[in-house]
Amino acid sequence: MLTALSIRNVVLIEKLDLTFRHGLCVLTGETGAGKSILLDALGLALGARAETGLLRQGSNSAVVTACFEVPADHPANRLLAEHEIGIEETLLLRRTLNAAGRTRAFINDQSTSVGLLKKVGESLIEIQGQFEQHGLLDSATHLSLLDVFGRLQVKAQEVHDAFHAWRDTQLEQSKATEDAERARRDEDYLRHALEELDTFDPREGEDSELTETRRFLMQAGQIVEAVQAAQSEFDTNNPINETLRSALRKLERVSEASAGRLDPAIAALDRAVAEVEAATETLSEAAQVIEIDDLRLNNVEERLFALRELARKHRVDVDKLPELRQSFHDRLALIDDQSDAVAKLEAAVQKARTRYLRHAETLSKARTKASKALDKAVNLELAPLKLEKATFTTELGVKAEDDWGESGINAARFMVATNPGEPVGPIGRIASGGELSRFMLALKLVLTSAGDQPSLIFDEVDSGVGGATAHAVGERLWRLADRTQLLVVTHSPQVAARGSDHFLVKKAGSGGRVVTDVQRLGGDDRLEEVARMLSGAAITEEARAAAGRLIEGTAA
């Protein structure tokens, strides 16, 4: 609910701070006092279009701040979370306007777009004026409003989910069909390419393996030469191992006499002899294994270069050739199995469509029942509002299949006829300004009973009515305010007397200039204002007495 409104430098308002309560808040005042300015200022904070004419003459900027209390699960908070704006106990909407016509928007003191400000504002408060009934006049909202009235949200969610499941299955089928058709167009190429890859039979890691083998084979001659040279060192007239053995024998003869002092040297020579013999044997084995094989080198090079050329042809790395081969195989398998795969997907699409249609038809039947109940409830409210000759009808139709969507198979419009025998038409085109406001009141009264609604503002809903009709309007506004916060701009004493909170909007002089001021009324001040509304400029005792009876009667 709206808890506070702060206005600076908007038209005739220099500085104004108001607080609001739950229930029916009425705003009264003489014509031209500035009641519409309050609504324009609030609209600015809610994201409405800004015009430089709103800026107070002589001011460089205007600022309007609206404060709201909202529950944690309110749609406004969900919007803030989606846009990473901090959620506070009090939700603040602020808008600034400068002399150049530029505006800035803030939510909880965080700069944001006017578009987001408007979305959040629309979830918090709705203004119903003679020419501003945006929500109820937009037929796009009528179906969801009917669902709320009929408490059909669960069924509507089932339809929503079934539609998206159907659509996802359709997309899957479409993609599979496109893939199969694309593969069929490329079938000759795929078969040739796969045959070539099968012939090569590339293995993962083969490029590195062949490269290493090629490097070794290219250096085989140098390796063999080095081995032979090393062997020749052991084949001289005085081989190393014989020299070592001779030295070892000489030391062993005097080992006992040395009292162990030569043992380390003897052990080292013994190890050296063993190592030399091992080296000699290893060199001999290497000489037998390592051969200069030009034919093998040629084969390795041919294989390596052919694989690299194949990889360049397909624009992949050599190691990706096995993966490419498998993908070609899978695409050809899709061609071979396409009739079965596509048939299964077509069956899945049909099953999803049937499920969606079942839920949608169930919802459609429930909507038909709810529309009749809505029509009956709204029409019962029309006669007391001096619309006894009017009729309200919910036009519920079934869309062509191409127009089915997440909201179901229905289209809904609120239609009215203001006189018997006249054809019904869209509510916004048939009803006049005063009638339209009363139609809005009747609809809101009925729809609000079905669930939570944002705060509402009615601008002169009682225009052109008086007496019993004005009393009926006031009584219904009072009932409506029991369910949601309601702010009403009114010229009707019958409506003003119903208010649980009463503000008087008036002009006053300040520093030689005219300003709009707002005063919260209570007690005798409120009685005096209602009496003025009854009698005009000259307030009589009879008017005061009548005002007292009105206020007391509404309080009873």
Residue 520, CB half-sphere, CA atoms under 13 Å: how many?
A: 9
Q: Are 453 and 481 in contact (CB under 8 A)?
A: no
Cβ neighbours of 419 (radius 10 Å): 9
CA distance 2 to 66: 7
- Asked if pLDDT for residue 66 goes beyond 80, the answer is yes
Which has the higher per-residue pLDDT, 58 or 360?
360
Cα dihedral sign, 174-177-179-181: negative
**Strands (DSSP E) found in 337-427:** 391-398, 410-417, 425-426
Lowest mean pLDDT among 265-279, 359-373, 515-529: 265-279
Mean pLDDT in residue range 123-150? 76
**Taking 60 as the threshold, does the pLDDT of residue 519 lie above it?**
yes
- Does residue 352 register a pLDDT over 90? yes
User: pLDDT at residue 463 above 90?
Assistant: no
- Please state, in angstroms and as integers, the Cα–Cα distance from residue 216 to each residue in 224, 226, 286, 296, following that order: 12, 14, 14, 11
Whole-number Å distance between alpha carbons of 146 and 368: 10
Structural domain boundaries of the chain? 188-332
Overall pTM > 0.85: no
Q: Where are the beta strands (DSSP E) in 318-407?
A: 391-398
Range among 130-139, 296-305, 402-411, 500-509 rated most confident: 402-411
Q: Region 486-492: what's the mean pLDDT?
A: 88
Q: What is the pLDDT of residue 238?
A: 54
CA distances from 301 to 292, 294, 296 (A): 15, 11, 9
Residue tagged 């796009």 (tokens): 140
Residue 379 has pLDDT above 90, yes or no: yes
Contact 45, 522 (CB under 8 A): no
Mean pLDDT of the chain: 84
Instruction: State how beta strands 125-128 and 110-112 pair.
Output: unpaired
Per-residue pLDDT, averaged over 65-71, amounts to: 92
Flag the least confident range among 165-174, 188-197, 291-300, 476-485: 291-300
Beta strands 425-426; 2-10: pairing state: unpaired
Could you read off the pLDDT of 204-249 as tens digits, one per residue?
888 888 888 777 777 665 666 666 666 666 665 556 767 777 777 7
Q: Which residues fall within 8 angstroms of residue 550, CB to CB, at 6 or more apart?
A: 493, 494, 497, 530, 534
CB 94 within 8 Å of CB 64: yes
| pLDDT computed for residue 131 by the predictor | 44
Cα torsion for 239, 245, 251, 252, to the nearest 10°? -170
Whole-number Å distance between alpha carbons of 546 and 534: 8
CA 49/CA 354 separation, integer angstroms: 45
Task: Report the Cα–Cα distance between both ends of the chain, in Å, rounded.
Answer: 26
The answer to whether the CB of 419 falls within 8 A of the CB of 388 is no
The winner for highest mean pLDDT among 24-28, 67-71, 349-353, 388-392 is 349-353
In 3D, which of 417, 398, 419 has the Cα closest to residue 408?
398
CA 483/CA 430 separation, integer angstroms: 29
User: What are 448's two structure tokens?
Assistant: 């609000």
The C-alpha atoms of residue 33 and residue 258 are separated, in whole angstroms, by 130
Of the candidates 331, 63, 317, the one whose C-alpha atom is nearest the C-alpha of residue 190 is: 331
For 492, residues 6+ apart whose C-beta sits below 8 A from its C-beta are: 462, 465, 466, 470, 473, 474, 533
* Residue 445 near residue 437, CB atoms below 8 Å: no
Cβ-based neighbours of 524, under 8 Å, separated by 6 or more: none
Q: Look at residue 199 and give its three-state secondary structure.
A: helix
Residue 350 is encoded by which pair of tokens?
A: 């049909």
C-beta of residue 246 within 8 angstroms of C-beta of residue 285:
no
Distances (CA, A) of 476 to 84, 204, 239: 40, 81, 124
The confidence score (pLDDT) of residue 286 equals: 63
- Of the ranges 20-29, 70-79, 87-96, 508-517, which one carries the lowest mean pLDDT score? 508-517
When pLDDT is averaged across residues 70-91 and rounded to a whole number, the result is 87
* pLDDT(255) > 90: no
**Dist CA 18 CA 23 (whole Å):** 16
Helix/strand/coil for 398: strand
Q: Does residue 357 carry a pLDDT above 90?
A: yes
DSSP bridge pairs for 394: 414
In one-letter notation, the amino acid at residue 54 is L
Q: How buried is 546 (Cβ within 10 angstroms: 0-12 exposed, 13-18 middle, 19+ buried)?
A: middle
Mean pLDDT of 525-532: 90
Integer Cα distance of 291 and 258 in angstroms = 50
- Any idea which residue has 């909007």 for tokens? 505
Integer CA distances (angstroms), 142 to 166, 185, 392, in order:
25, 49, 13
pLDDT for position 398: 95
Q: For residue 434, what pLDDT is reported? A: 67
pLDDT at 133: 46
Proportion of the chain above pLDDT 90, given as a percent: 27
User: Which position has the higher pLDDT, 26 or 431?
Assistant: 26
pLDDT over 50 at 3, yes or no: yes
Mean pLDDT across the stretch 110-133? 80
| Structure confidence at residue 274 as a pLDDT band (50, 70, 90) | confident
